[in-house]
């Protein structure tokens, strides 16, 4: 049984890392190498030969401001996007059904017909089976869609939606209307994303919005910290309020800012040790490669991680010339794999078996990570973790602060040997 996480003000002020930093490792800040088209083609071919299961992510950048002056932008982007799909997908030869398909970013700025075009292109090369056994999700801006759009998206086969409550001006009545449409149209799971730490946000306003969203009882609620939240004085109080209220309402924290209802599949997966996170969020297993299409799309194929560039003109020009767009990434080293395993299991299971890690990678944990051992001991003394010779276990008070532990194993977090000033700790 997954235990409810507890809010501990002292630990929060000591470590202050709540915010889903490690949905994947290596992180995007380590994507510093130019990844050639040959490397990407080779990785896709290898994945296909190994008959690796494949997850597909299609990213739609936000063009809403640009299209006001140039309506050709989304049309040209869709053309280039389909060209990218064709260039990579024809090398895949993947005959296994795609169990994870996600339209990320802001797809609802495009019409249902345009999204259908992209889906048809995918169906030319991949086995897309539209039923509720697979996870086909789409990001929805509730303020730019209606019932007809929701119906069209459902007919495409999407069975899960992510509603972004703060994409644009917050309007609960409109959000509720789209939520009710999703319920009526039998979407299998609805997630609502909230942002805390918005400029000038106060406790009363946040509490009111949180109560409204909880009243809908979506399967999942995610709390995302605003980019400029650090300057908000009431930030700890906002987070404490949200965590306390969500706990009281019956939501369970499963990591990565995500709270779910007790019957959510992530709860049973976490109890069975099967829940995982990747470049795009949670899954109930992690035994698959990820192929991303679109500007800023991320991919994880075997040992290769990369992200497409975000320059619109470069993306279009490359693909119009039948070339892949520029991409930055990294090829995992053995050390990356060790750290990835640790961060992965701590983030998803809140428990690292040291003996399993040592057996898997043929290392001595306490020797290999001798430089950070003083910090692990300090965290143990603070009550953030329970550390002994066999395991590292997050305490209930430390669930929300797992990123603080993961940072110790993040080789890119600091090139210097950690010292006791790494965190501002309150005694």
User: CATH no. for residue 191?
Assistant: 3.20.20
Report the C-alpha gap between 401 and 7 in whole angstroms: 10
pLDDT at 421 (0 to 100): 37
| In a shared domain, residues 39 and 153 | yes
Q: Are residues 269 and 408 in the same domain?
A: no
Per-position b or e across 18-47, b if 16+ CB within 10 A of its CB = bbbbbbbbbbbebbeeebeeebbeebbeeb
Same domain, 355 and 392: yes
Is 360 in the same domain as 238?
no
- Using CA atoms, how far apart are residues 220 and 236, in angstroms rounded to an integer? 22
Q: Are residues 288 and 338 in the same domain?
A: no
Contact 44, 52 (CB under 8 A): no
HSE-up of residue 6 (Cα within 13 Å, Cβ side): 12
What ranges in 350-420 are assigned the alpha helix state H?
Answer: 354-361, 365-368, 373-382, 402-409
DSSP alpha helix (H) spans, 50-102: 72-89
Q: Among residues 331, 361, 392, which one ends one of the domains?
A: 331
* 8/70 same-domain check: no
Rounded to two decimals, the pTM is 0.89
Q: Which two tokens stand for residue 66?
A: 């640009």
The tokens for 301 are 């194929």
Question: What does the pLDDT read at residue 203?
Answer: 92
Residues 10 and 54 in one domain: no
What are the pLDDT tens digits along the chain (427 aa)?
445 677 788 888 888 765 557 777 888 888 999 999 999 999 999 999 998 889 999 999 998 876 656 888 889 999 999 999 999 998 887 788 998 999 999 999 999 999 999 999 999 999 998 877 788 999 999 999 999 999 999 999 999 999 999 877 889 999 999 999 999 999 999 999 998 888 888 899 999 999 999 999 999 999 888 877 666 788 888 888 999 999 999 998 887 788 999 888 777 766 666 555 555 555 555 678 999 999 999 999 989 999 999 999 999 999 999 999 999 999 999 999 999 899 988 888 888 999 999 999 999 999 999 999 999 999 999 999 999 999 999 998 888 888 899 999 998 765 434 343 333 333 2
Which of 224, 249, 252 minimizes the C-alpha distance to 238? 224
- CB distance 230 to 19 below 8 Å: no
Co-location of 411 and 270 in the same domain: no
Together in a domain, 61 and 104:
yes
pLDDT for residue 262: 87
Domain that holds residue 201: 24-331
Q: What is the CATH number of the domain that holds 365?
A: 1.10.10.920
Domain final residue pick, 331, 357, 392: 331
Q: Is the same domain home to 270 and 404?
A: no
For residue 411, what are the contacts with CB-CB under 8 A and spacing of at least 6?
Answer: 335, 336, 339
Structure tokens belonging to residue 217: 């009882």
pLDDT, tens digit, 9 for 90 and up, residues 118-134: 999 999 999 998 877 78
Token readout for 106 is 């802001």
Q: Any idea what DSSP says for residue 130?
A: -
Domains identified in the chain, total number: 2
Same domain, 413 and 357: yes
Last residue of a domain, one of 298, 331, 364: 331
Residues 262 and 383 placed together within one structural domain of the fold: no
Helix, strand, or coil here: 195?
Answer: strand
């Amino acid at each position: 049984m997954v235990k409810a996480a507890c809010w501990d003000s002292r630990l929060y002020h000591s470590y202050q890392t709540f915010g889903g930093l490690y949905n994947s490792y290596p992180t995007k800040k380590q994507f510093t190498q130019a990844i050639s088209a040959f490397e990407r083609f080779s990785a896709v071919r290898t994945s296909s030969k190994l008959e690796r299961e494949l997850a597909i992510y299609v990213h739609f950048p936000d063009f809403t401001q640009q299209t006001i002056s140039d309506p050709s932008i989304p049309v040209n982007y869709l053309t280039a996007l389909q060209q990218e799909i064709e260039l990579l997908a024809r090398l895949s030869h993947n005959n296994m059904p795609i169990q994870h398909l996600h339209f990320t970013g802001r797809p609802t700025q495009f019409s249902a017909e345009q999204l259908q075009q992209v889906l048809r292109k995918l169906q030319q090369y991949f086995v897309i089976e539209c039923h509720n056994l697979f996870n086909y999700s789409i990001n929805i801006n509730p303020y730019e869609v209606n019932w007809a759009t929701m119906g069209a998206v459902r007919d495409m086969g999407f069975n899960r939606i992510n509603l972004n409550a703060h994409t644009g001006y917050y309007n609960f009545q409109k959000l509720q209307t789209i939520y009710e449409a999703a319920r009526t149209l039998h979407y299998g799971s609805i997630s609502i994303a909230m942002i805390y730490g918005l400029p000038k946000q106060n406790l009363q306003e946040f509490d009111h919005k949180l109560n409204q969203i909880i009243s809908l009882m979506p399967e999942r609620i995610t709390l995302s910290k605003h980019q400029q939240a650090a300057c908000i004085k009431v930030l700890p109080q906002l987070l404490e309020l949200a965590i306390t209220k969500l706990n009281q309402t019956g939501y369970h924290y499963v990591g990565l800012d995500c709270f779910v209802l007790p019957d959510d599949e992530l709860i049973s997966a976490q109890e069975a040790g099967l829940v995982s996170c990747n470049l795009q969020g949670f899954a109930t297993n992690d035994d698959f490669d990820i192929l991303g299409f679109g500007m800023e799309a991320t991919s994880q194929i075997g040992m290769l991680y990369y992200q497409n560039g975000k320059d619109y003109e470069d993306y279009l020009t490359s693909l119009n010339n039948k070339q892949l767009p520029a991409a930055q990434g990294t090829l995992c080293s053995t050390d990356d794999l060790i750290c990835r395993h640790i961060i992965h299991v701590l983030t998803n299971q809140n428990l690292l078996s040291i003996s399993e890690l040592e057996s898997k990678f043929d290392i001595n944990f306490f020797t290999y990570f001798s430089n950070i051992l003083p910090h692990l001991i300090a965290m143990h003394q603070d009550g953030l973790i329970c550390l002994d010779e066999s395991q590292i276990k997050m305490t209930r008070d430390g669930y929300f602060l797992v990123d603080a532990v993961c940072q110790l194993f993040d080789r890119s977090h600091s090139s210097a040997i950690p010292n006791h000033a790494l965190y501002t700790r309150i005694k």
